Amino acid sequence: MHHPRAHRGGALPGRDAHRAAGFRAARRRRVRGAARVKPLRTAIVAMSACAVVSDAVLIAFYPQFFERRYGVTSALHVGAYVAAISIAVMCTLPLWARLARRIDTLRLLLFTQGAAGTLCLASGLADDVLGYWLLTIPMFMCKSSYLLMYPYLMRMQPPATHAHTIGLLSVVVHVGGILAAGAGGHVMQHAGPAACVGLMAAGDFAQMAVCGWLLRGGHAAAAEPAAAPEAPASRDTGRWRRVLPLCALVMLFDFSAYLIRPFFSLHWAAVSGSGDQLVAGLVFAIPGGVALAALVVNQRLRARGRRLPDAVFPNLLLGAAGLLLQAGPAWWAVLLGRVLFGWALFQLVVKLEVLLFRLSAPERYARDFSVFNFFQNFGVLLASFAAGALVERHGLAITFAVAVAGFAASALLERLLLPDRAPAALPLAGGRHAA
């Protein structure tokens, strides 16, 4: 007779023994997989920091860069150049995403970031502005491939951790922006434009080195998930019907958020009466410090089971208030506005990207993210053209007024396309729902 306590004290029956052995083997595989993924995740975060620093060294100082290096003072030219960068990125990233289906992502980045660093160094030798354009636009086309690391990382994470991972990457982007703005202002003021170009190239070569280290250590092959079967066409069409309104919202949001960036350092100089470019860079980077504080606050709220302050509509209104304060003539209002704007920007960026990955599926992360990024860059593109034209005709303050109107329009669009009840019902990858 079988004793009811036999399972607890002695050997397990055959079927239960096999089942327990399977559970133990699966647990060991999960532990080993997590151990392999951790260095890759850390390396991707480091690569993101290098990429942001490399890209953002000159973002707040292009007016000064072109004036000191090539004698070009046209605000329209600065806007056109930033727009050309956006076109290069938005057109090239989908091609990199398609190529990444056939080539390992890290192996692809090894070559593209090396090419970007080489072109960056070559641009430092350009004698005229046309030569600089011809070398740097292909450089940014190569640089754009590093954005594939975000969906690459998301595929390795369970959906429940996406918000934290996106928040962490957002903080890396913001903190990298602080370092880049401070370093860019200091180097521009004390070492000149050529040194800024060298700093950008160093970031590209650092990413190349990290990719080489990961490939040599076999981390990429260990962490790369197996390809999943394609979803039925009807399900894919349903996803696009939800993704495209989100893309429309993010396009308008990014247009409004980026409209003030190209000429912010000039606005700060006019408001504060100070020409110190290091201080201007640090003021420009205030949202980065706020993002770090917001990440800590969100983590503590999540640990206590409290609701996160990441609702789209209230943060759009808060961001609009921050933009209004920045448009004022008082330096303290600009600083307060940067704080409010930074808090809203962090919460919105994280929330919108979490919604994207919730609507997508792991096998489509790279493709859907490339489309999402296309709309983001299209918004930045429109902002770049608009900023140059607006400043040329109406002065610096008009960019803040238009940005406020854009945030208000984004809030209206969110009410129409993404009502509060929609996010809770959005399917997570694998058919589950958000907790």
Amino acid at 102: R
CB atoms within 10 A of CB 191: 12
Calpha distance 64→78 (Å, rounded): 10
178 to 112, 296, 323, 368: CA distances (angstroms):
25, 17, 19, 29
Q: What is the pLDDT of residue 138?
A: 94
Q: Which of 348, 349, 430 is nearest to 155 (CA)?
A: 430
Helices (H), 100-146: 105-123, 129-143
Q: What is the pLDDT of residue 281?
A: 78
Question: For 87-125, what is each residue's pLDDT tens digit?
Answer: 888 788 888 888 888 888 888 989 999 999 999 999 988
217 to 40, 163, 220, 222: CA distances (angstroms):
10, 29, 8, 10
Q: What is the pLDDT of residue 278?
A: 76
Q: What does pTM read for this prediction?
A: 0.67
Q: Which residues neighbour 390 within 8 Å (Cβ) at sequence distance 6 or greater?
A: 398, 399, 402
Cα dihedral 200, 202, 208, 213, rounded to 10, equals: -140
The third-level CATH classification (topology) of the domain covering 43-224+234-425 is: Growth Hormone; Chain: A; (1.20.1250)
Q: What is the pLDDT of residue 6?
A: 44
Calpha distance 38→165 (Å, rounded): 13
Calpha distance 117→135 (Å, rounded): 11
Q: Which residues neighbour 332 within 8 Å (Cβ) at sequence distance 6 or greater?
A: none
Calpha distance 246→177 (Å, rounded): 26
| List of the chain residues with pLDDT < 70 | 1-38, 174, 218-241, 418-435
Q: What is the pLDDT of residue 435?
A: 30
Which residues, in sequence order, are bridge partners of residue 427?
A: 433
User: What residue spans define the domains of the chain?
Assistant: 43-224+234-425
Which residues, in sequence order, are bridge partners of residue 433?
A: 427
Q: Which of 386, 389, 420 is nearest to 406 (CA)?
A: 386
CA atoms in the 13 A half-sphere facing the CB of 298: 25
